[in-house]
Structure formats: structure tokens, C-alpha cells
Structure 1
Amino acid sequence: MTNASWVKIRRDLHQIPELGFQEFKTQQYLLDYIKTLPQEHITVTTWKTGIFVYAEGTVGDQTVAYRADIDGLPITEETGLDFVSQHEGRMHACGHDLHMTIALGSLTQVVQERIEHNALFVFQPAEEGPGGAQPMLESEEMKQYEIDYIFALHVDPKRPVGTVASKEGLLFANTSELFIDFHGKGGHAAYPHETKDMMMAASAFNVQLQQVVGRMVNPLEDAVVTLGKMEAGTVQNIIPEHARVEGTIRTTAAKTMPEIKQSIERILCGIEVRYECQTSVDYGANYFMVHNDGEYVERFKDALSNTSIEFIEAEEAMTGEDFGYMLKELRGFMFWLGVDSEYGLHNSKLNPKEEAIEVGIEAVVNMMKS
């Protein structure tokens, strides 16, 4: 197929973004395309809204797995493109439309050429939340395959088309969402002594939270704790009885994550005593770090040596990816694919260059053949 064909598929997928475990249209679109391929040597299995496509190799000495995530984000698109999202308040703002297209392109080439190795294409739902990698990995559908190694890519708006980037060891951080509710007693602004002000409680927590990384985490271990949202109150003259803060925790060491959570809970115990309130904490979606196997990163470099694709040594990033759960159990790696966009990931104006699709297909297929 020509690049124009892959661009059309990407644009079709871009128009139907769906949230985690709600990717019904997306799954059907993928299945409809897969049915157009020769079926003699492939097996298709569904799991929830995800898909496994197993392509039998001519030798079958090993099974190489490749994962592509398929969900979108709860973002209203502002790109102004002709193929803008048709689902209000939903957008492929993290490049998963390209991820899926590259997977379909790679699958097509693998099926048509019949490479030596067995190839398993994993179309995974709910990467953005609530997290599909771990339950998919634990499913009977995936356990039936003896996978030698698995790999995946993620678009990188900061790098030019024609480049990929990866590294041995830590690539993406451990991450956890953070949601905390404060419950007290509201009342009239003129009688603060009769209330338990949850605006004050949440504000005090925010100030103390900033000490967690600076004074409670080993300075040799990188960590970030950020609150990005705070809600409290209804009007200017009522002291709120409820407040809520939302944020994120990110660490480069797996053991640091529970240590930070314990520190947060100790702070909340103090807040409850000081402000005579009740608190509840929810850590939402948690992602394990993406830790690359050095042997396969080197193998990837070798696989690209006779191509025009430029390999760049990546740096660690505090971004999160639930592909880390798969790498926790299976050998493999992840790499960045340059897509050269003015706007970054999770931005309502993200517009990756579509020329990167063919680069991604070439990189994936070459690795599968190696």
C-alpha cells in the first residue's frame, strides 16, 4: 500500500477517538481492515475492546510481539484539520491514531512477506486510563502466546521525522494519579469560627506537599509531585465544607512511589487533626516504569543500520506509559518516533507529521525481521 493509503487510515481513526475500554468503533475499524488481509497464516482474537493478531512465521523459531495502544483522550480538539474528531470532547491527542496505523502497516507487510519469526500484534485499549496493559497481560488470551520479547513505540513531537530514540534502562517513570477529598463543615463567611474550612485544609496540604520531594525523598532518586487542580466553594461569602485536589506523582525508582504515598498519608493525618476534618485519597491509575532491555535496544540499532532512519540516544523522561507493566514481565523495549509537531503530547492542537507513518512501519518491520 502507498503512503496515501496509510494517511487515509490514520485520518479515519483520528476522527473516532474513544476513551479506555470504550473503543468499540475503533476495534471494529481495525477488525474490518484486518479481514482484508490474507487469512491463511493469521489468527485473530479479541479481548474486551482490544485485539490480538498472531501471524505465523515461515520458521517460527521465536515469537516477537508488538504493542499499539488504541484509546483517545477527553480533550476537545482545536487543530482545525479537515479530519477533526467527530466525537465531541474526545481527541487522539497522544498519537495513538498513528500508533494504530503503523501497527496495521507493519502487520500488512509481515503477512504479505511472511517473515521467519512468529509475530504477535497487540492492539491494547485503555493506555491513558484506567490502564489496559496489566489486565491484558494477565488475560488468558495473551497467556496462550509464548512471547520471546515485546516492543512498542510512542510518537515524539519534539524530534524530526526520520529519527527514532531509545536507550537502555529507564526510559519512562513510574507514575500515579492523585485525587484527595477534604470534608469539613461549611457556613457563612461572617461566622468562620462555626465552620471547618476546607479551603484552608486543602491549601495547607498543598503547602506541606511541596516538602515531600525536597525533604522526604532521597535526593539521588528523582521524583515529582504536582497538584494541577483544586476545587472548593460555590460563592464568595460561603466557607466551603468540601475541597478536592488532583495531581500526579512521578518517580524514577519503583521503591520511591510507595514512600511518597506514605508521606502524603501522614500529612493528611495531620491535616485531619489540625482542621477537624475527614480526608480520602485515591491514587487512580498507576503505571510501572518503562525499563528497556539493553540487548534489544542494541538489536534495534542493528536492525536500522541499513536504513535511512537515524537512531538517537534518548534521555530519561518523567512521562508515564502503562507499557511498563508488559516490560516488567517480558523482555523488550520502547522507542520514540519523531513526528515533528509544534504542539506537544496531550495538547488540543497536536498535529504529527504523517510522513512519520512510513518511518514507523519500516522501523517496526525491520526489528521484527532481525
Structure 2
Amino acid sequence: MVLDEEQLIQIRRHLHTIPELALHETMTHEYLLQVVRSFKQDYLEIRETPELPTALFVRVKGTAPQRTIGYRTDIDALPITEQTGLPFASQHPGVMHACGHDIHMTVALGVLNYFAEHQPQDNLLFFFQPAEESDYGGKRAYEAGLFAGKWRPDEFYGLHDNPDLPAGAIGCRMGTLFAGTTEVNIDLEGQGGHAAYPQDANDTVVAAAALIMQVQTVISRSIDPIQSGVVTLGKIRGGEIRNVIAGHTRIEGTIRGLTQAMIESIDDRLRDLCAGIGRSFNMKVNLELNQGGYWPVENNPQLTKFFINYMKQAPNVDFVETAPAMTGEDFGFLLAKFPGTMFWLGVDDDSQLHSATLTPQESAIKRGVDAITGFMEARMNKEE
């Protein structure tokens, strides 16, 4: 039986009550497994893996497959205390689906349920992915070799909900949808000393100030102004007391870029600047760059063109061409390994993503399911 709108909403509300943090999505995993096992099983194969215990893979066998189409949804939540006042609010203190992953999972279950009832032409692979908000579960799955053999998708798709779009609208663009991100940690190691005797010390606060000012030139003077990139140094900690010269200072920040080449270019400039400050101030400057799986979400040109053309022409689909966003998404790593497309699903809310008051419009769920199942059927009918 195909799930109706009310059943989908009830699934979403239950998922909303049991949010869990990255790599700890045990209740979520069990509930997803319960729902999938309630579907018609004739064409389904369910896979759990010890390498990533909270992940869930479901394969749908096609009638005459030309390809395996992958669909990914993220399943983790955020360390945020919910303030929506909903009767189905989070039952886990300090944890909330404040990024809409409960919507994501419900749409994926709706699409899977449809194809469990209507056997697809192509093979389908559904990946319920843990650890999107942190710990990059997509990269973990890839590096564990979980996308091999019949579990390897030829192309991959996924969505993210968008409070700024009308409920049920589909948004997408050619090129980059989300920026890639890199964590920046810089430790400056000098020599502490008495404030009255600076000649006997090596002040890391002064060196950090010089470094911070030089970093401001990376975007303004080292990057093509037609391109987009951001370096933000959001935290600095140096010294313990006003009359002691600090022997250690730590700077923490983030890099955002719309292409992997842009991020790597910014990385190189930061390495050069840190090395230069180290030589200029005669101290150790240790730079740590951690990108993990948060690569730019760069949509495949051919597949995305087909996706956009379908959504523009499909009845009952409100398509919106969107601008790139500087937020991060670890689906970017998988799109660097498999061709595919990420897109937005509008949920029409005054609150933004990662807000304690995020309340997506549930009318978006069924419209999202219908749009995606229609697209997948159109994609299966396209000969290579």
C-alpha cells in the first residue's frame, strides 16, 4: 500500500520526537528499519553494516536496469534545545531536528515506499546516512567501501529543505549548490614572560594580530573577485592575565568556497601566511586544516540539466532557480565521487535552518515525494 499524506506526516512527527546526534542515531535507525520492513518486500534488499552501524541501505531491484540510481538522506540532528512548542516536539533534551532531517527522511521513505509498490525499471539504492551535521558520514561510508558491487550507484541524488521557498517547491541550479567548508585551527607557540620585560619574551598575541590582518587579504587580494570564497576567524584565545606576555595563542575559524579548487587555493595561501609569520616573529605557527567530507556540492552538468528541465515541465511542480549558498553539506564529498544532483525542497518557514524554532510546513512532504518519484521515472525512461 502506498503511504498517503497523513501517514507520511505521522512518520515525520515520530522522527521529530527522537532526534539523535551524529553516529548515535540508534533509535532513528531502528524506526527507519521498522518502517521499511512494513513495505512490500518483493523487490527490496535491506543492508546494515558494522562499519557504520546506524546507517541503513535499501536496494530496489529493477525490471530491466540500465543503471543504479542512488538517493541519499541524512538522519542525524543538532545539539539544540527545541523551542517550537509543538505537541510532537523533541523528547531528547538538548537535541532537535533543527535542520529538517526528519523531513528529509520522510520524503525518502515516501519515495522508497512508492517504488516498493511499483517496481522500477532501474535499480535504486537508498542510503539513510548518519552524521551529516558532524563527522561526515558520507565520507565514512565511501572510505569503508560500502558503495561497492551492486551497492554502487551510477548517479546520486539528494535534497535539503529550504525555509525560504514555498512549501513543496523544488529549487536547484547548475554548478555549485552549497559551498565546501574547512575548519581552521592555528596555534602560535612563542615565549611567555613578564609584561615589563618584552625583550625576554616572544609575544604570540602580537604575532596573532599580524596574522589575522594578513588573512584579511586572502580573499581581497589573492582570489579572483568573480569567484566566491570566505575566510572567517571567529575565535581567538591568548594569555591568562593582563601583565604576562602570552607564550601561546590559538585562533579558530572556517573557510568557505564554491569549488574544491577555490578551497585548496585558500588553503595554500593560509599555509604561506602562517609560515611567513613564523619566520617573521621567530616562533612556531602550526596550522591545522580539517575539511573532512564537507566538499562543495558541485552538481553534475548533464544530470542537473535533465533534472531542471524535468522539474520545469512537470505538472504540479513549482520550480525555482536558486543562488548558491555558503552553508556546508557533506553530500559534496559523494558528488565528488559519483555524478549527481542536490536540490532544495521548500518548507516555507519564518525560522531559519539550525534555529530552535524551525517548523517546516508538512504539506511539503507529499509534494516532494511526488516530484522525486516523477523525476526518477522520467530518468529511467531516458536511454543512455
Asked if TM exceeds 0.5, the reply is yes
Distance 1:257 1:278 in 2: 24
The 3 A distance-change label for structure 1 pair 215 and 118 is: same
Identify if the C-alpha distance between structure 1 residues 197 and 366 changes in structure 2 by more than 3 Å, giving closer, same or farther.
same
Report the counterpart of residue 67 of structure 1 in structure 2: 72
Alpha-carbon offset, residue 13 of structure 1: 2.0
Would you say how many aligned residue pairs link Structure 1 and Structure 2?
Answer: 370
Query: Which residue of structure 1 lines up, in the alignment, with residue 358 of structure 2?
Result: 350
Which of 305, 310, 322 in structure 2 is aligned with 1:314? 322
1:360 to 364, 368, 372: 368
Residue equivalent to 2:296:
289
TM-score, normalization: structure 2? 0.87
Please give the TM-score of this superposition, normalised by the length of structure 1. 0.90
Structure 1 residue 326 corresponds to structure 2 residue 331: no
Q: Who is 1:99 aligned against? A: 104
| Residue number in structure 2 paired with 1:31 | 33
Q: CA RMSD in A?
A: 2.4
- C-alpha contact (below 8 Å) 2:70/2:127 kept by paired residues: yes
Q: Does 1:232 align with 2:234?
A: no
Select 2:134's aligned residue among 129, 136, 146: 129
C-alpha contact 1:10 1:97 (8 A) present in aligned 2: yes
Alignment of 1:178 with 2:184, yes or no, is yes
Q: Pick one of 63, 80, 87 that aligns with 2:85.
A: 80
Q: How does 1:108-147 map to 2 (within 5 A)?
A: 108-145=113-150, 146-147=152-153
Deviations 1:345-365 (A, max 9, x none): 223332222211112211221
State the match for 2:382 in structure 1. none
Report the CA distance shift for 1:12/1:284 in structure 2 as closer, same or farther (over 3 A): farther
The worse-fitting range, judged by mean Cα deviation, of 300-309 and 114-123 is 300-309
Cα separation, partners in 2 of 1:200 and 1:6, compared to 1, 3 Å: farther
Query: In 2 relative to 1, CA 253–64 (structure 1 residues): closer, same or farther, beyond 3 Å?
Result: closer
Say yes or no: does 1:253 pair with 2:294: no
Q: Distance in 1 between matches of 2:357 and 2:88?
A: 13
* 1:300–1:216 CA distance, 2 compared to 1 (3 A): closer
For 1:89 and 1:155, how far apart are their aligned partners in 2? 22
In the other structure, the counterpart of 1:338 is: 346
Q: Which runs of 4+ in 1 moved over 6 A?
A: none
Code of the residue aligned with 1:14 in structure 2: it is H
- 1:19 aligned partner: 21
Letter in 1 for 2:7: S
What are the Cα deviations for residues 287-326 of structure 1, in whole angstroms up to 9, with x where unaligned?
Answer: 2222222332343345443431211122222222221222
Superimposed CA distance per residue, residues 151-177 of structure 1 (whole angstroms, 9 cap, x where no aligned partner):
111111111113111122222223212
- Tell me if structure 1 keeps the 8 A contact 2:42–2:116: no
Alignment-derived partner of residue 381 in structure 2: none
How far apart, CA to CA, are the structure 1 residues paired with 2:305 and 2:262? 29
Once residues 199 and 15 of structure 1 are traced to their aligned partners in structure 2, the CA distance between those partners, rounded to angstroms, is 46
Q: By how many angstroms is 1:237 displaced?
A: 5.1
* Same amino acid, percent of matched pairs: 40
Tell me which residue corresponds to 1:154.
160
The unaligned stretches of length 5 or more in structure 1 are: none
Q: Distance in 2 between matches of 1:83 and 1:252?
A: 37
